Amino acid sequence: MPEFAWPWLLLALPLPWLVARLLPAASRDARAALRVPFAPILATIDDGSAGKHRRSRWRVLPLLGWILLCVAAARPQQLDSVIAPPRSGRDLMLAVDLSGSMRTQDMELGGQVVDRLSAIKAVLGDFLTRRSGDRVGLVVFGSHAYAVTPLTWDRHSVREQLAMSEAGLAGDATAIGDAITLAVKRLSAQAPGASSGDDRVLILLTDGVSNAGVIEPIKAAQLAAAEHVKIYTIGFGGNGQIDSMFGLSLPGADDGVDEDTLRKIATLTGGQYYRARDTESLAGIYAQLDRIEPVASRQPAQAVASELYPWPLGAALLVTLAIFALPPAPLRRGLA
């Protein structure tokens, strides 16, 4: 059976009757509005009785239109089906470094030399495909940290947002502490479907040293530990050499990953630190992270509802058009 999302709006149904009962009646002026010598003849020609009977049949239209408007305002809905959320999964936040150093082309993907961010997009895309049952969110950071995607089961939208990210988009510096703090805030938000305990995980990937932001990385890690958020850190970057197409090794960017800080962050929160120097090792790390044991979900079942209010709203519009299409009532008084 259809249900109403806002059933309290049906209390407006007797409003026209209350207005008619409580407001004082309009005063009637018995004096004639226009005096003509042939008024008695006009009265004998048509006394308006036929039009009165015709109009009485349509007097119900305004009342019907009001009822339809009230029903539409109450938002009738049809509960089509009940969708149970995944029985197991985690709240997983990804924090990806978009600093200027991610433009360094010291990675190989498909036999071609690519920049670090392109390699990350390829590996993370496969990782997201396998995270069935998890709610995933995305935080990107450079000089500042930004929450790009909230926690969602729509992993396709997360992949799209990651694919559109560009190195330097959030600044050329690296604010690891701010990124951790923002991700923990998103994970700890008690929104519908939010989880708690050991099923909240942050995977942070960076290729540099924290040199920007307001919050120190270790303090941010302590905050994450207090909120029971486990952090897995990944230091990413090559060894400073790029193999050219002629077989020569060209100088690349220095390996500036702050492994000590990343290891402390993981240890403080009960996570683990990984080091990836190429695309293959990064894919292996995410394969290990993919085996993180999911936990039981405590989410209630959710019903999918179809909105039905356009039907009574459209009917009310048709009734209104019918009222305006009726011929006006003839003047029965005002002539003398």
Share of residues in the chain with pLDDT > 70 (%): 73
Domain that residue 36 falls in:
3-20+32-81+303-325
Residue pair 74/4 in contact by the 8 Å Cβ criterion: yes
Q: In b/e form, how buried is each residue of 131-141, taking b as 16+ CB within 10 angstroms? A: beebbbbbbbb
Please choose, from the candidates 96, 65, 285, 120, the residue with its C-alpha nearest in 3D space to the C-alpha of residue 176: 96
Count: domains in the chain = 2
Say how far apart CA 13 and CA 111 lie, in whole Å: 72
| 92 shares a domain with 63 | no
| 263 shares a domain with 143 | yes
| 269 shares a domain with 307 | no
pLDDT of residue 46: 52
**Structure tokens that stand for 133 in this block:** 């049952």
| 98 shares a domain with 71 | no
Q: Give 288-330 as a DSSP string.
A: HHTTPPPEE--PPPEEEEEE-THHHHHHHHHHHHHHHHSPPPP
| 233 shares a domain with 93 | yes
The reply to whether 330 falls in a domain is no
| 172 shares a domain with 52 | no
pLDDT of residue 282: 82
Q: Give 226-279 as a DSSP string.
A: HTT-EEEEEEE---SEEE-TTSPEEE-------HHHHHHHHHHHT--EEEESSH
pTM passes above 0.75: no
The reply to whether 25 falls in a domain is no
Q: Coil, strand, or helix at residue 126?
A: helix
The reply to whether 331 falls in a domain is no
pLDDT in tens, the chain (336 residues): 778 889 999 999 998 888 888 877 666 555 555 565 555 554 555 555 555 555 555 678 888 889 999 999 999 998 776 655 555 567 889 999 888 888 888 787 777 888 888 888 888 888 888 877 788 999 999 999 999 998 988 888 898 898 888 888 888 888 999 999 999 999 887 544 445 555 788 999 988 888 888 899 999 999 999 998 999 998 887 654 444 444 444 444 445 788 899 999 999 998 889 888 878 888 888 888 877 655 555 555 566 778 888 999 999 999 888 888 877 655 554 445
pLDDT of residue 85: 54
pLDDT of residue 335: 46
| 99 shares a domain with 160 | yes
The reply to whether 332 falls in a domain is no
Q: List pLDDT tens digits, range 243-283.
A: 444 444 444 444 578 889 999 999 999 888 988 887 888 88
| 178 shares a domain with 309 | no
The reply to whether 333 falls in a domain is no
